[in-house]
Amino acid sequence: MPQGDAPPSLELAPGFKAPVPTDYASMKEYIEAALPAESPIMYGMHTNAELSLLTSQVSSWHLCSAELHVWLTTLPPTCTAKLFLTELVPVFQNCLTVTHDRFTG
């Protein structure tokens, strides 16, 4: 507990000081307003960890968009919106499943 009226000097996470002990609503408001964005540093990881994750995600999305582009170029010119969507959903779901499997498997 801080001495006197001095604010707490304890950091709950890098760059996130503990709130001044007051009522619940004020503490909740402080946490929602001042909590830094998620980053590897918040979890004690090296900053390159985020770069690696983002690079993997972008690579997967590029593969997915390339697969969708190939699929879209094979559609007949008379394709209706309903047919387009009924054909697109399974292709997109397959692409997302492959992307998800790369990160979880």
Q: Where are the domains of the chain?
A: 1-36, 46-104
Q: State how far Cα 59 lies from the chain centre.
A: 15
Alpha carbon 65 to chain centroid, angstroms: 19
The per-residue pLDDT for 105 is 47
For residue 99, pLDDT beyond 70 = no
- 52/60 Cα distance (integer angstroms): 13
Per-residue pLDDT reduced to its tens digit, 10-61 = 888 777 888 887 889 988 898 888 888 777 777 777 878 778 878 887 887 7
Which residue has better confidence, 76 or 100?
76
Instruction: Give the number of other Cβ atoms within 10 Å of residue 27's Cβ.
Output: 14
The pTM of this model reads 0.38
CA 101 to chain centre: 17
Nearest to 65 by CA among 73, 54, 75: 73
Mean pLDDT, all residues of the chain: 75
The HSE-up count of residue 44 (CA atoms within 13 Å, CB side) is 1
Return the number of other C-beta atoms located less than 10 Å from residue 68's C-beta: 14
Band of pLDDT at residue 97, cut at 50, 70 and 90: low
